[in-house]
Structure 1
């Protein structure tokens, strides 16, 4: 493996928009692999969060039919608060054969707040930001021009804009509404069997 593209997130739960984004990036970059990394304990914690093990299992189920998708339990093993800087450092340690900077998928909204992230300047030197942008949008250039962060590499990828969020899915579950087609069948069954997000 000569390059690595990382998709880190809470995945609480993983849904079809995550999968479509990952496949869009993979195709655009001609990436060998997209590595999904569920957080152990996200810095901006959600209230109704499933256990790290449940979220890892759901990612495994969601991606199993795509040979270019893999999942890592690196943040579960690191434990503690899941800071991207620590995770990326550990990925380089585990993958000394990498010949390029790690590609790091990030939404435009999160990228806009990158300067609030733990060790953001050091992180920016280690990775190539893959910023998700709406088609025909100038938002990424505007964000970059407003950042005080300098000397970092980024590329923006147009991804389909799908208005689905994990919080919306959790709310539907609480209201006993269907989540079919918002998540894969396997993830839907896992949520039902394990009685996740009911309260």
Structure 2
């Protein structure tokens, strides 16, 4: 399915529970750093956040991703990220352009999460039998992985995310 602007459902709500969860998780420095480190290793942060959000509500992640989400990421989010990274930080001549692109990238990620939320809600079935949030989070994150082979650093990052998610699940559930 191609993701032209006209293919994005009009009822896509950027203010959804997955977005609010992502904001809370992102506020945890270790979780944010782990997500960014995994992204630099080829992981999709949307898949990471989707897997973690499902774990926080007791659901397993199937690993399937809507074609609309993937297409949006490839056509909008990734090119914006590439453009932002291309522009040198702290260059007064390009600072405003980099800032605008960074804001646009964040909004593109927000739309991507909204599309992911719609797809996830449509396919949630039953709760997982996994005993702990951290255990379910680790299993879901493994399902979100772009590859099955993991080195020790990737395993450490996944453990960090699972611990952070477990702490988040015990703490405040207010939206960001």
Q: TM-score, normalised by structure 2?
A: 0.27
Using CA pairs below 8 Å that are at least 6 residues apart, which structure has the higher relative contact order? 2
Say which structure is richer in helix: 2
TM-score where L is the length of structure 1: 0.25
